[in-house]
Homo-oligomer: A and B are copies of this chain.
Amino acid sequence: MQLAILLYDRFTSLDAVGPFELLSRLPGAETVFVAEKAGPVRNDQDNLSLVADRSLAEVPAPDIVLVPGGPGSRRALADETLLEWLRTADATSTWTTSVCTGSLVLAGAGLLKGRRAASHWLSLDLLGRLGAEPTGERVVFDGKYVTAAGVSSGIDMALHLIGRIAGHEVAQTIQLLTEYDPQPPYDAGSPEKAPAEIVASWRAQGADDDTVRTGGR
């Protein structure tokens, strides 16, 4: 079972590495990071490069496709080389997945038309304009399409997916080995729970491209 994680310029690191850390522990999984060209790909904050071991052309038919989000998703969702690879990979994939604004890229490829899908809470409107049916849920399954909300939600998505693929015991084992027993000291992880003034301030900035660097969308 081959898992391909797509990298593109200005992706958000945790969107990719969170679900990677869990999914790559699936028994029998071969995980490969891919990008238009093999080599280092820079993140959204310009302070970390992940290496794509293979080019898109070398990985035409993965079983699982994972598209992370990030400010670079705005360019990626109109990059015909990426989109064509996604359409081809999706034609034979078992699961096509995204984290955060990775769903915008799937939508740009035309893969989420009329499908329920998640995204970063500040990008749900744009997801709708791209033809999907946005929901504020954290992890959304619609057929073989699995989309997660912002950044850290990819970890929850991975556990759900591992349960579907390999069963509850494997998923629980991977949860135990990665000690995923979250105990955040605050309860501000969604717009429904965070202090209203923080949410309002980010919604007001929502259309401003400069804010996405800090927001990691």
Contact B194 A175 (CB under 8 A): yes
Residue of B nearest to A122 (CB): B177
Quick check: B51 and A49 within 8 Å, CB to CB?
Answer: yes
Most interface-central of A30, A149, A178, A216 (chain B CB within 10 A): A178
A48-69 at interface with B (beta carbon < 8 Å): 48-51, 53
Known: A12-B21, A176-B190, A177-B215. A182 touches B156 (CB 8 A): yes
Count of residues in A whose CB is under 8 Å from the partner chain: 68
Known: A155-B184, A175-B189, A177-B217. 17 other contacts (CB 8 A): A14-B18, A14-B178, A17-B48, A18-B18, A33-B47, A47-B53, A50-B51, A120-B179, A151-B180, A156-B183, A160-B185, A172-B198, A173-B194, A175-B188, A176-B198, A178-B189, A182-B189
A residues in contact (CB < 8 Å) with B: 12-14, 17-18, 20-21, 24-25, 30-33, 40, 45, 47-51, 53, 100, 120-121, 138-139, 149-153, 155-156, 159-160, 163, 168-169, 171-173, 175-191, 193-195, 198-199, 202, 214-217
